[in-house]
Amino acid sequence: MENYHMLFGTTAAQPSSSTSNSYNFLAGSSSLLRDNDRGQQAGHSASGLSSHGGSFLAELSGNSSKDGGASPPAASRGESSAGPVAEADRPAGGAGKRKGEKKERRPRYAFQTRSQVDILDDGYRWRKYGQKAVKNNKFPRSYYRCTHQGCNVKKQVQRLSRDEGVVVTTYEGTHTHPIEKSNDNFEHILTQMQIYSGMGSNFSSSHNMFH
DNA sequence: CGGTTTTGACCAGCGC
DNA sequence: GCGCTGGTCAAAACCG
């Protein structure tokens, strides 16, 4: 992930005005999504989408001061307070077992890529833990989590319905361990995708940036 | 066999 | 307060 950070580091690294300038290309994406919905859910579409994208961008670009650092990292996802008994009580499901854990905001980095494959090998190992169909997108969104112990990094991958070739990947959190694979591989994946960096006014493919 | 994906259900947040 | 939507869990299926 460090690689990504470096690659798109120009956005996040900006010391000043770090709020808005980062991820301008995401703004582009939101407009794309808006284009997608083709006006269904009139009245709801604009506000809903804008709010959706807005929060998305907000979380991405800056830390919301809403909670004000309320929760230190609980660090233990597997609280599993309920034993098998609860399972018997509730067949299939029981997702919301943990209670004490609050939402802690962690940095999120998102970008669009153009690729044929949803899952780009970024050097880390991911385990898929969910898949959900989102509104206004015919392609489902996939949720992945880093399999490394103690590493709570998550990422979600979604493909735009309009542009089948465009894949939006959102990373959440920071890896606390080195990459498993060599970085050469990363270079390899660049050859099969183009990164939309919408900063500035025109698109440029990462292809050119690195070669 | 171990790890990963699949898949339906549950839950929390938000809007109405 | 209800319903919709997105995010997560976990058992079962799947795959090397």
| pLDDT tens for chain A, residues 1 to 211 | 444 444 443 333 333 333 333 333 443 333 333 333 333 333 333 333 332 333 333 344 333 333 333 333 333 333 333 333 333 333 333 333 333 334 445 677 777 776 666 666 778 889 999 999 988 888 899 999 998 887 888 998 888 877 777 788 888 888 878 776 655 555 555 545 554 443 333 333 333 344 4
Say which nucleotide is closest to residue A56, CA to C1' distance: C6
pTM, rounded to two decimals: 0.58
What pLDDT is recorded for position A118?
65
Tokens representing A85? 């008994």
> How far apart, in Å, are the Cα atoms of A56 and each of A42, A94, A144?
22, 28, 18
CB-count exposure of residue A189 (10 Å: 0-12, 13-18, 19+): middle
Residue type, A54: G
Cα separation, A92 vs A33, whole angstroms: 34
Please tell me the predicted confidence (pLDDT) of residue A145: 92
Closest CA to A6 of A204, A193, A198, A187: A187
As a rounded value in angstroms, the CA-to-C1' distance for A164 and B6 is 23
CA of A130 to C1' of B6 (A): 9
Q: Is the CB of A188 under 7 A from strand B?
A: no
- Asked whether the beta carbons of A22 and A12 are under 8 A apart, the reply is yes
Model pLDDT, residue A97: 37
pLDDT score of A49: 31
Would you state the pLDDT for residue A124? Answer: 85
| Of A165, A139, A134, the residue nearest A53 (C-alpha) | A134
Q: What is the CA radius of gyration of chain A?
A: 19
Q: What angle separates helix A44-61 from helix A24-36, to the nearest 10 degrees?
A: 160
Q: Protein contacts on strand C: list nucleotides below 7 Å from a Cβ.
A: 4-11
pLDDT tens per residue across span A67-107: 333 333 333 333 333 333 333 333 333 333 333 334 445 67
Nucleic strand C interface residues, CB < 7 Å: A 41, 52, 77-78, 80, 84, 87, 92-98, 129-136, 141, 143, 145, 154, 156
* pLDDT value of position A149: 80
